[in-house]
Structures are given as structure tokens and as C-alpha cells.
Amino acid sequence: MATALVARAFLFFAYPTRMSGDNVWIAADLWGTDAITSATPLAELAAGVHPSASALDMFIGTIPGSTCETSVIAILLGAILLLFTGIASWRVMLSVVLGGGLMGLLFNAIGANEYMQVPFYYHYLMGGFMFGAVFMATDPVTAAQTNTGKWIYGLLIGIFAVMLRVINPAYPEGMMLSILLMNCFAPLIDHCVVARNIKMRQHRALKLSKTVKS
């Protein structure tokens, strides 16, 4: 999954107009096209306009957007399957959602622009937030391995995803970059968690030995 994210990041920044600009490639010359183009909720917010789609529309998936990320219902069904089979960690999923919600509430309290004023739960419904939380952040190879590390890892992904969305209007979707960033720091998070546990055990052992001697 990390390889796919790195490839997408390269393509996005190397060919931005081809990926999401005015020159997006379609096969109209070969087979014709049966589609309607319009601004996504994230693009509308980046332009300072409240999303025209309702929360229900975004939850169901009847909105413009990239493949596989528009329907939160379908993503939640995938989450149930991943959790039932034991492939994904519920700690990572839940912590990503909590981190995004906390950051969204903080921006709601600031309320400096339209993007900060949008209800915090809209971030779950727009763009690739839920798709990333369920299918990408939970990659068992690149995610944190310790239970405590998974909470820290997921919280930071959610926080950075919403932060990038709101603060950087030139790049309305921040999930991809936040996951890649935390993939780099996941080993360090696990190292700090393990080192802390060792230190605490040594402290308890020392305290126990002093108690026995006394």
C-alpha cells in the first residue's frame, strides 16, 4: 500500500494538471464518454464555498470524486470485513477518526474561514479520509506495530490530514501525504513506546528489589 501511495504522490506532483486539473485524460476519442464533471466538496471548500452536497449525499456517495472514495457506506462495509478477518487494526482506524475529529473541532472553534466553519464530521465524508483510514493507514507492514504506537500513529494521521486540508488550499486533500509522513515515523514511534515500557519495567523491578531488601 505504501508503494501505491508513493506512486500516486509522484504522479500527482509531477503531472498535477493531468491528475486533477483541466487536462484530465478521458477516452472520449475512442469510445465516447458518459460522465458529468463538477467540483467535489473538497474543491468547493478550498475555493471558500460551502459544499453544495448534503451530508447524506456524501455518506451515500452520490457526489463527484475519485473512484472508491465517495461512498462512506461501502467503505464501512469494507472496514467490517477487514476487522472480521483480522487483517486491519481497529486501533488505527478509530484513532485516525478521533484525530481528524479533534482537529476539525479545533478549527471549528477558530472559525476563521468557510473551511474551518464546516462541521467536523464533514471531513469524514469528503475526499479520501475514510478510505485512507480503513484501507491505507491500516497497512500491517508500514503502520506502527505496538498497541500504544497504533494509537499515536493513527491520531497523528487524522490530525495532519485535516490540517493539510484546511491550511493549504492549493492541496485540498491531505490524507495521502499524512499517511506517507507517518509511515516514515512509525518505526520511531514503536521505538519510543518500547523504550518507555523497558524503562518502566526497570523502574518497577528496582522498586521491588528495594522493597524485598528492606
Task: Using pLDDT thresholds of 50, 70 and 90, give the confidence band for residue 97.
Answer: very high
Measured between alpha carbons, how far apart are the two ends of the chain, in Å? 55
pTM for the complete prediction?
0.84
Rounded Cα distance between 25 and 97, Å, is 33
- Contacts for 124 with CB less than 8 Å, ≥ 6 apart: 72, 97, 100, 101, 130
pLDDT in tens, 31-74: 555 555 556 788 788 777 888 888 898 898 888 777 667 889 99
- Contacts for 127 with CB less than 8 Å, ≥ 6 apart: 40, 41, 42, 65, 69, 165, 172, 173, 175
pLDDT in tens, 176-193: 889 999 999 999 999 999
Rounded Cα distance between 158 and 85, Å, is 24
Q: Which residue in this structure is represented by grid cell 523491578? A: 205
Rounded Cα distance between 135 and 68, Å, is 11
